Amino acid sequence: MIYLDNAATAIKREEIIKYILEHTKDFDGNPESTHAMGRNAKMILEESRRKIATSIGANPKDVIFTSGATEVNNTVINAFKNSEIITTAIEHDSILNTIGKDNSVLLKVDKNGQISLDDLKNKVSENTKLVVIMYVNNETGSIEPVKEVGEYLSDKDIWFHIDAVQAYGHVDIDVEELKCDSLAISGHKIGGLNGFGAMYLRENLPSFMKGGEQEKNRRAGTSFVAGAYSMAESFPKMLEEREKIKELKEYFVNELSKIDVNFEINGDIEKTSAHILNIYFDDYKSDFLLTYLDMNGICASAGSACRAGSFLPSHVITNMYDEKRANHSVRFSFGYQNTKEEIDKVIEVLSNL
């Protein structure tokens, strides 16, 4: 298999999983227990918190561990569910399916998949209490002007939340520079274990998960120590791999342009993250092309994996262009395990088609 769907979930890092399996006793204890095994697990959990906090320029006390970014997004939005919320038309489903339809304002995007800061300024009203913007779009890789948004909102009584899932490890993140009030990141997008994420909170919000007193009463539920460790250890590896991933994306585009395939890149490649490439193939519908690629051992996608394998046209590409283009677009997303030899094979398969 050639796996080019890393934006859905990255290939797990075997060396980290192997370490966890070989040291299971270190991860077995409940970190809230006072005995030796609990204290050992707590030590790993808090060291992982320190590393993850450092990776986004945050204080460890402001980082809360969760089951993933979906929980983070839901937590923030539910805290403002009765207020006016501004977000974009190309957000992840964990945002679009959570905001109230009657009190939400959706910002349009241009053909590069980017919002207009002036449009945001025009939409902000005295009723606006929350602005939610994705740092890097999960389907096109388009980078939103979140720093400019944070600067604009910094002197206003408006909470600013950033979904930084696709940015984490691929684009530098500093919560102080971004001037955000909260931020969501996820471990499995960089090679960590599924089911673990983190939330940066400048100030506490009402707890979304009710139960015990974990995470200093900010999020209930038994801590996933192995998930925290896998995310913390994956991040520095991701930083080392960024340049290689960027080169693979550039190589893919260059080689694709050499064969007789009618294609266009969705968005401005210069304004996208290095690991995501969304391509419009005028001659082939997405479902056909994905099936053909799959039959040749190549994994790609037509949009967000969170849409349960649906072949419905991407709402992101539809908002950037139109539904016809969305029905002919495929996302390739690159990871640390990919090689130029794999890219050559994909180009060969497309050439044969």
211, 52, 94, 133: CA torsion to nearest 10: 130
The count of residues in the chain is: 353
Cβ neighbours of residue 142 under 8 Å, at least 6 residues apart?
Answer: 109, 112, 113, 114, 136, 267, 268, 271, 272
3-state SS class at 331: strand
**Calpha distance 122→131 (Å, rounded):** 13
In the numeric block, which tokens belong to residue 315? 């709402």
Q: List 119's β-bridge partners, or say none.
A: none
Q: Annotated catalytic residue: which of 306, 322, 340, 344?
A: 306
Cβ neighbours of residue 180 under 8 Å, at least 6 residues apart?
Answer: 146, 150, 160, 161, 162, 200, 202
Active site residue 299: no
Any idea which residues carry the catalytic annotation? 306
